[in-house]
Structure 1
């Protein structure tokens, strides 16, 4: 079911938390709100769920308006037919897994037999059918979170909302549940709104990602678009681009100069904004033992200051001669792990350097999605 948010505003004690935010979630689409703490992502979701009363704008779920500041409409949360999965598992430890799942169905006056059948079907979907009669307190953390998901899904919500549901789990289990969540969302065609500060989660679970900063959507796009073409250096840095260097233009359109170091970079795209930075992903940088080569663009001498073995790759920090410290992730090769203090050459392909404005030049409002 489509969710339509128009000019949403929310303030706490006069301090804006959401500023004129507009977003449409298509029927069956998964939108991930991604951003740092305090950017307004959870507040936005809570407004849609009816857990916060906005100070302006409107929200529509399907054809039904659930909030409209002008028309003085504010449908209570329990009448919006939304499912919520929280960071905490929020299970009743004194109930069985099945009793936890069918609780919202019983509250909706669904018959006991039908509620049990629906609950068991949903538990099978999340891989907990064999644990239906087990006490909820005996489940592992990952199983509890699956149970919480099943409880929200069993009520057949118009939109499923998930507020950082995997953040309390260990790394391996988070990876596994990301795959399961995405599988369930796609197979069931669930309209979902997911909140996280984890870029890997966002990339794995979204049809589109809305990056939020200071109560607005700074960039909206598919995971591939967001990863490949971040709208600003600030967004690139948030997405894990560790090499971000303020630059200024030179006499050549295809070269930039680092502001803080006497170093020039050859680039494919010239500077378009007065305050810009060169952004380079660590895995786009090649580090090799020192060689003598002349005329190759973006080849710099340096010294390894940190070398970390990561299994399939090696992470280096290299202090460039007359330049900054640069972060690089290199696959293992015939050179092995280059020791700290090694003299090296660092190579960067001009096409891998993104010259971006330091901040998004203007607010990017979401495009409408046809139902």
Structure 2
């Protein structure tokens, strides 16, 4: 049976709608956001709503502002390349084409890491991700537009794919980035300012979301966001996705010795959501049946057609996006992860916190209003 996105009373708001809401707030406002002088979008990479609530004592500013219904749903897959692009374009992955962490570039028959491989893969960010960004739309309407992030991200391919239209302003620490974002919003009436905080995601991947390191990152972010917001400036704090801890004994290694590479040309995606690409002459229905049988109870296995028909990648899937989606998709259940045992780089097996799947921990993110947006 095809997978379905999580649903429920708190899941009707999507991160894919945030971009247009912020633009509307610079004009007449929306049901969620009143009109403001300037708007700031703060994205805390990897901060799920459930882990935030579980560690509320370490995030007193954010938790005090977060009501029960202050929740948004991420997109599928729940990974940065897909979800952050949806946040900043207002469309689902099927429309913007960033359908996973590592996907197949069929022209070169090679996997492309959509966060880091742009230059070496010879991929043009302007055509690979062709959907207009919120920054391009805001700039075309005459709004000053800024993106505040870490210095090392200033000129990457991923930045050019999702932040085009914004003036990039680097700052090193979370506190410095928040301070700069507030200053820009205050100094430029009508401004749209994006502020990216990746510290929690980094700590979670390395140590897990229940670790002292993750808690310290959360405390630092919360402290940075406790700074007074300038008058008339609305701030929205959200995330691209959440995270779940995967202990080593919950990993499953898919290697050639176990027959997992029979008829398989590439295994992409990430450990919580694999894009599996079959050989051109492979018996795809047989492979799909075998993977479903052998992963029963461990992962959900669907074909590309089933995933697209179920709307997992959104209501529209472009031809370019369809080409990048795996012939078979494998979504890990519970807190499991699946690894390509024959991949050259096995460093990913050291990751504790992971995402990409469809648990509520990965899918539900905060939607917190601050400053002139606060209720």
- Indicate the structure whose relative CO is greater, using CA pairs within 8 Å and at least 6 residues apart: 2
Which structure has greater strand proportion?
A: 1
Same fold (TM over 0.5): no
How does the TM-score come out when normalised to structure 2? 0.25
Which structure has greater helix proportion?
A: 2
How does the TM-score come out when normalised to structure 1? 0.25
